[in-house]
Structure 1
Amino acid sequence: MARRWRPTGLAALLILIFGWVAGMAPAQTSAVPAVLVADDIQVTRDRRLIARGNVEAFQNGTRLTAQSIEYNPDTGALTITGPIVIDDGAGTRILANQAELSNDLQNGLLTGARLVLNDQLQLASVQMNRVNGRYTQLYKTAVTSCHICGDDPRPPLWQIRAKRVIHDEEERQLYFDHAQLRIRNTPILYLPRLRLPDPSQDRATGFLIPELQSNSRLGTGLRLPYFIKLGDHRDLTLTPYIANNTRTLEFRYRQAFKRGRIIFEGALSDDELQPNDSRGFLFGAGEFNLNRDFVLQFDIEAVSDDAYLNDYGYFNKDRLDSQIQVSRARRDEFIRLSYINYKSLRDDEDDAVLPSDVLEALYERRFFPKAVGGEIRLTAAAHAHERASRLDFDANGDGVVDGRDVLRFNVDAEWLRSFQLGGLQVQTRLGVAGDVIRVSDDSIFDDGDSGIAPKAAVTLRYPMVRQSASGVRQHIEPFVQFGWVGGDGLAVPNEESTRVEFDEGNLLALSRFPATDRRERGWAVALGGTWSRIDPNGWSASLTLGQILREEAQTDFSDTTGLSGTTSDFLLAGQMKFDGGLAVSGRTLFNESFDVAKAEVRGDWSNDRLDLGGSYIWISEDPAIDLPSPIGEFTFDGAYKIDRFWTANVDWRYDLEEGRAATAGAGITYTNECVRVGLSINRSFADSTTIEPSTSLGVTVSLRGFSAHTGERVETRSCGKQAR
């Protein structure tokens, strides 16, 4: 029968074992109670403590098992006979056949020892020494994170063989002497000295996963990132990229502050694509919490030339925006002040005649007066944009003067109130807006214009709900809105509202222009309805249908907006979700003749092994917004889990009007508990004077076990017929 021993006298020395495994000093743990269980426990006349047979010791979640433990008070030696297993409950285990330790456990020797770190990395050695309570030295060591079957004669997929390995518990680092990297049992790389972080490290200085890449324009090259820990709150990553036609240094700097954080990334290149130019880019962003709930945000985007980002595959942006903004959001108040600078990378755009500098200010406040009920909203806004050009000339013939600058001020006050009449819901709006717009460097519009716009609206809804015995719930809600906006339209150029979208989000708005440089005027009626079906055990769907009827047409709406004329196009939007993982959503605008102005559809299907997605977009031609021909595009993306370890993915974007692919890519990845191998190929079919088609091939190999957990689910191979 097993006997239980609580630590008094010599038995308390067992607690030191747990302090050693957990990296704590003995003095910190000597007062913590431990429990020793064995088939036989005795104290001899010469004060030796001997525990034999199925020995187990427990303390603070740490567990030690052995065949016997003997303590000699005369020599201070602690002898443990195995098989020995010490588990701290946090992922670190020590396995050994025999152990001789000093009485303070700061020094000692273990034979036939194996150290397992973070339940991931295994270090098997002939001999293990404990030195000064901090260092663990392992001799003739094999290191791997691959699952090893005891009866499998084959070596692990990869391993690092070393003459000596030192584990520094304080710095959480592994130091290798005379290290060999072996694939199966074939040496492929020798390093006289090697340092790697142990798996418990979140951030440690050292090399990251390299990537072998082949590009049709840059050639074949290698990216070798090196991570530098500059402290607990900042780091720098330098990535040399050496290929046939380029010498590039990529970098990323991150720092966290008490009240914010920043990140900067970029690259510097000397390549054969533009041999006489230094090329590069710099992107940065940051956010800081200021006093009185204000937040400062900024981002910087700069590039040496228009084609650089595409040549190296960094970003797909064709317009860069750098911004600094201060804002504050409270329950009943919002304040924002921002400055934005734009730079175009498009062939057909000249930065000098684009409104590249934009300054905006916005203040919103709402009140809930008890005297009149409802809600009062007050808004004040200012906007200014400037072009670098000073020419008073319409060079492109599109109505935009090359040097035109605009300054705009708007104020708005609204009173909103809702009430119920039986099953009828009534929402009312009453307000007035004032607009002042000043134009400079444009002789056509002189100094601009100003005006007042009173407005009112009443919205009626009649929601109806039906629920079946099976739990299916259906909701139908017809609605109609009567709206009016007075005043005359301002005699100013259309600078900000050239691209208008009509969707279910602004179906009941009094003005659907994206900016307040212009407003819809006169009487309008918005009518339509929504329907939804919710089945907790089956398919669910929602649908919205609406249309706008006006007293008079709005001249600033182009044909593709669906809002031109006194009768708008029909808006139809909806989505469906099925129990099998299929989801479809879409939106379209069409007239009484079913001529479609815009259409978009997105579908996704997902299950345990397959993820598929695709979308279709179509916009009819509209010369008023520089669209001389229709836009039609189809995109597809998918991933397929071939088995527990292999995953394939593909993406494709096809231009239906041009009749050719725009981009295409495919990849395959193998991942298990000890290695991740990825192969990818991407093709860009871009066609312009600054961007040329290119093909890139990438290969990455990552040895798992030396990096922090990413949250990715990893399948572990098993022993037996299904192994590997």
Structure 2
Amino acid sequence: MQSERRRFRTAALRRRLLAGVGVVALVASGGAAWAQQAQPAQPPQPGPDGLGPNAVYIEADSTTRTGDTITANGGEERVLARFRNTTLRAGEVAYDLNQGIASARDRVEFTDPDGNQIFASLLQIDSDLRAGVAVDFATRFRNGASLMAATAVRRGENLNELNYAIFTPCPICDEAGNTRQPSISIQAEKVVQDEGLRAILYRNAVFRVGGVPVFYLPVFSHPDPTVERASGFLVPIPSYDEGRGYSLEVPYLQVISPSEDWLISPQFNTDVAPFMNLQWRRRFSDGTIVLRGGYTYERNFGDFDIDNDGDVDGNVRFGDQTSRSYFLGQGAFDPAGPWRWGFTAERTSDKTLFDRYDVRDPYQDNGLYYGDQRRLISQLYAERQTERSYVSIAAFSIQSLRVKEFSPVTPALNIFESDGDLPFVGPLVEARWEPDGPVLGGRLRLRGSAVALTRDTYIGSPVLRPELIPGGPTAGLPGVDSRRVSGQVEWRRAMITAMGVRFEPFVDLRADLYSVSELPPMMGVDDGAITRSRATAGVDLSWPLIRRIGQDADLILEPMAQLSASTNPDRDVRIPNEDSPALELDESSLFRVDRFPGYDQIEGGIRLTTGARATLRWSGGRQASLFVGRSFREDDEPAFLTPVPDAPAQLYDPSGLSSDASDWVVQGSFSPSDGIRGWGHATIDSSGDVRRAEIAVDGRWGRRNLASASYIVDRSNPLAGPENRNYEFLQISGQQFIYGNWGVAASGIADMERDLITRSEVGLLFDDDCFRFEIGWRRDNTQVRPSGPSEGIYIRLNLATFGGTGYGQGDGR
């Protein structure tokens, strides 16, 4: 009965307060609303809380008025007041109609329009929410950071002053709601939160780790946690290298506007000149531009053999001082309509500049076309895409930073791939179109492609066919230029029988026009135009079968096959192989009509491709899948054999398709639980030898323990030589928490082809979700860094709100 009487009282009070809320709100707004009433105007729109800009909603157990002061009491459930998209809860709320000041006491909780919360035992604010006083003040930001003080005064619309305050980005309560000591905190005599500067300023700041004071600064500042970015110094990045010594990179972010900023990041080194890094970012209404660059004036340095006696003379600075720099720029624009365009501009003065100065993330996938690892691409492109059509136009050039031949003496003497080995590509046009609706009951697709490639340097294998590679010296020969235009028509229709057999008949017609010039004159072939064509007809068959195994498991078997017949294309020996030097044969490419990634290699004849996939699924998303497949043709294809780069007379098959039976394709995946998943792929030749394989397994247990392992091998070239590109790598990494937030972390990369560990590290870490610290020992033994192996202590620090160092620095080289 008492609760029913209370609900009746509350409902009656709501009606009385809502009836008078207009008067209170008008007074609270300083009389501005009275003037608006005399002018015809559009009615104000309600806010997210459903209230108008001058409306107030109050819930309370009782209310009294003494003179100009209205007091509301809430009892155990506290008073609830909503106004101007804010919420106020307190045991007692009083409002002075004359002065326009609201006072709240007893378990005060105030939430502003941005979702930030304020707690206090006493809170006073004016009618415009521009000034106020709080006792036992505490605020919690949207990102979880907390700021507490004995007293807090709001001096104006953008300025808060706190006395005897403490700030922490870490949680101050555990999952059960009990208070706990924050891992990181800053205690200060006075703290000023300047919302105009979007910064928090400290006087006599003491930094604490786990409650223990570790550092003192008379003045200190950092960005307000509610802002995404603000001008100021970021966390410094320490590092060490045998060539440049100890280094400290000190990044500074300068915010120009909400859509523009600069990152100025000088690297100071003990043994060589400083290196300056710059980055400019600008966001436009329909796109973004990011420009990066770096510069130093210094000699080359590394383990050089200066006197050519076969012995390394140590880590020295070698050669003349000169300007050394890099530039990495990219832009992407997507205006209204079907067109979009962009560019990348990537160049460096030295092949090993990124390695010597530890430039972060130099190899990124931007733009329409991507450069491979250790290759930089500069391109200009435009795209047009609709529901039924696509067209792209691009031009690009590539700078290679790859090692062509590793030196047995020192990495400083490695031989790098020449930029002239790679062509200038432009224009490159790709287009496709589909009609709106089926044609003969199936899908019709038209494709078109055109490209021009220009080379300055002669390249034999694998670009030229074996018949056109001279046996003698090739120095001074011009680079072979080529142009190609291709057109393709594809029709395919899917049908399913009553028994569930799915079959797709298809027809594929293709024609190519080539123009080749600057062929080696001693081979007795003429430049000119070359045409070829191919017609293919066939059918894809599959029959998915499913069977229930037990109460929570399904077994799915899917045998599949493809039978196709093609005319034999004219493989003119003058057609270069620019875009199809290698093939990654897998489940998706095995059943394609054109299995090579480009246009230069083309298949013909009669083919039968078979395969089967088995999938086992359990409840909870667990599954395991295995695919095995192979392709057969009536004759061998010697045109798919490729000369060994340093021995053109020797041929090998990098594709696995040159014989009448292709390599076996084996591919599988498994995830027996939420914490374990894996994937694997392999191609196996007819003799049972693995040509290529890749396996990866990830594991996670507990909340933060994890480990991963991956293995990749390529044995596609069985012929030895200095330019043999076979490789074999094993990579592992993991972290294990041992006690509370303390744990260990380790990682390593082993080059099993050269029998060395290229990179390894092991360290001790502390991580409590707002503060991660890691210290350990690291050895870098990559064979590209000219200063040779480097080892030493590494430190990584990541602080919530303040940023981090040592993470995301692009370890791949």
- TM interval, short-chain normalised: 0.7 to 0.9
Matched, 1:330 2:330: no
Determine the C-alpha separation between the residues in 2 that align with 1:555 and 1:390. Answer: 21
Q: Give matches, 1:16-55, under 5 Å.
A: 31-38=54-61, 41-44=63-66, 46-51=67-72, 54=75, 55=78
| Distance change (3 Å), C-alpha of 1:670 and 1:417 | same
Matched, 1:341 2:363: no
Matched, 1:613 2:708: yes
Q: Where does residue 543 of structure 1 map in the other structure?
A: 627
Q: Give matches, 1:147-296, under 5 Å.
A: 147=171, 157-182=183-208, 184=211, 186=213, 188-192=215-219, 194-245=220-271, 246-270=273-297, 273-274=300-301, 276-290=321-335, 292-296=337-341
SS at 1:500 equivalent: coil
Matched, 1:58 2:85: no
Q: Once the 2 structures are TM-superposed, how far is the Cα of residue 654 of structure 1 from its aligned partner?
A: 1.2
Identity among equivalent positions (%) equals: 21
Q: Once the 2 structures are TM-superposed, how far is the Cα of residue 306 of structure 1 from its aligned partner?
A: 0.4
TM-score by length of 2: 0.76
| Distance change (3 Å), C-alpha of 1:256 and 1:395 | farther
Deviation digits for residues 457-516 of structure 1, max 9, x if unmatched? 322424041322635142222314132232321121533222233222222233433322
Q: Where does residue 476 of structure 1 map in the other structure?
A: 558
Determine the C-alpha separation between the residues in 2 that align with 1:530 and 1:336. Answer: 36
Mapped contact 2:636–2:658 kept (Cα < 8 A): no
Q: Give matches, 1:418-457, under 5 Å.
A: 418-420=494-496, 423=499, 424-442=501-519, 443=521, 444=523, 445-457=525-537
Pick which of 67-76 and 303-312 moved more: 67-76
Give the AA of the match of 2:275. Answer: T
Q: Give matches, 1:642-721, under 5 Å.
A: 642=738, 645-646=741-742, 648-672=744-768, 675-679=771-775, 682-687=778-783, 690=786, 692-695=788-791, 697-705=793-801
Q: Once the 2 structures are TM-superposed, how far is the Cα of residue 581 of structure 1 from its aligned partner?
A: 3.5
Determine the C-alpha separation between the residues in 2 that align with 1:418 and 1:12. Answer: 68
Q: Once the 2 structures are TM-superposed, how far is the Cα of residue 342 of structure 1 from its aligned partner?
A: 1.0
| Distance change (3 Å), C-alpha of 1:563 and 1:158 | closer
Mapped contact 1:362–1:380 kept (Cα < 8 A): yes
Give the AA of the match of 1:653. Answer: I
Mapped contact 2:144–2:171 kept (Cα < 8 A): no
Deviation digits for residues 435-472 of structure 1, max 9, x if unmatched? 22222222234214523323223224240413226351
Mapped contact 1:394–1:402 kept (Cα < 8 A): no
Q: Where does residue 352 of structure 2 map in the other structure?
A: 307
Matched, 1:503 2:586: yes
Determine the C-alpha separation between the residues in 2 that align with 1:485 and 1:681. Answer: 62
Determine the C-alpha separation between the residues in 2 that align with 1:106 and 1:513. Answer: 68
Matched, 1:534 2:614: no
Determine the C-alpha separation between the residues in 1 that align with 2:101 and 2:667. Answer: 79
| Distance change (3 Å), C-alpha of 1:117 and 1:371 | closer
Mapped contact 1:211–1:701 kept (Cα < 8 A): no
SS at 1:277 equivalent: strand
Determine the C-alpha separation between the residues in 2 that align with 1:154 and 1:336. Answer: 58
Determine the C-alpha separation between the residues in 1 that align with 2:328 and 2:725. Answer: 34
> How many residues are matched?
696
Pick which of 453-462 and 67-76 moved more: 67-76
SS at 1:310 equivalent: helix
Determine the C-alpha separation between the residues in 2 that align with 1:452 and 1:485. Answer: 11
Deviation digits for residues 91-139 of structure 1, max 9, x if unmatched? 5333444456667664444444344444744443343223234422223
SS at 2:322 equivalent: coil
Mapped contact 1:449–1:491 kept (Cα < 8 A): no
SS at 1:113 equivalent: strand
Matched, 1:362 2:430: yes
| Distance change (3 Å), C-alpha of 1:439 and 1:47 | closer
Pick which of 678-687 and 68-77 moved more: 68-77
| Distance change (3 Å), C-alpha of 1:176 and 1:418 | closer
Determine the C-alpha separation between the residues in 2 that align with 1:563 and 1:653. Answer: 32
Matched, 1:415 2:475: no
Q: Where does residue 389 of structure 1 map in the other structure?
A: 457
Pick which of 127-136 and 651-660 moved more: 127-136
Determine the C-alpha separation between the residues in 1 that align with 2:507 and 2:721. Answer: 33
Q: Once the 2 structures are TM-superposed, how far is the Cα of residue 281 of structure 1 from its aligned partner?
A: 1.8
Give the AA of the match of 2:676. Answer: L
Deviation digits for residues 9-42 of structure 1, max 9, x if unmatched? 886599789xxxxxx9xxx98732221525x532
Mapped contact 2:24–2:97 kept (Cα < 8 A): no
Q: Where does residue 556 of structure 1 map in the other structure?
A: 640
Q: Once the 2 structures are TM-superposed, how far is the Cα of residue 271 of structure 1 from its aligned partner?
A: 5.3
Q: 1:593 aligns with which of 687, 690, 693?
A: 687
Q: Where does residue 541 of structure 2 map in the other structure?
A: 461
Mapped contact 2:679–2:696 kept (Cα < 8 A): yes
| Distance change (3 Å), C-alpha of 1:517 and 1:118 | closer
TM-score by length of 1: 0.84
Give the AA of the match of 1:652. Answer: G
SS at 1:489 equivalent: coil
Q: 2:600 aligns with which of 517, 541, 545?
A: 517
Mapped contact 2:565–2:607 kept (Cα < 8 A): yes
| Distance change (3 Å), C-alpha of 1:650 and 1:154 | closer
| Distance change (3 Å), C-alpha of 1:360 and 1:131 | same
Mapped contact 1:449–1:492 kept (Cα < 8 A): no
Q: Once the 2 structures are TM-superposed, how far is the Cα of residue 257 of structure 1 from its aligned partner?
A: 1.4
Determine the C-alpha separation between the residues in 2 that align with 1:395 and 1:602. Answer: 43
Pick which of 248-257 and 78-87 moved more: 78-87
Q: Once the 2 structures are TM-superposed, how far is the Cα of residue 304 of structure 1 from its aligned partner?
A: 1.6
Q: Once the 2 structures are TM-superposed, how far is the Cα of residue 396 of structure 1 from its aligned partner?
A: 9.4
Q: Once the 2 structures are TM-superposed, how far is the Cα of residue 289 of structure 1 from its aligned partner?
A: 1.7
Mapped contact 1:176–1:195 kept (Cα < 8 A): yes
Give the AA of the match of 1:56. Answer: V
| Distance change (3 Å), C-alpha of 1:369 and 1:642 | same
Give the AA of the match of 1:336. Answer: S
Q: Once the 2 structures are TM-superposed, how far is the Cα of residue 702 of structure 1 from its aligned partner?
A: 4.5
Matched, 1:404 2:480: yes
Mapped contact 1:358–1:385 kept (Cα < 8 A): yes
Unaligned runs of 5+ in 1: 18-23, 709-724
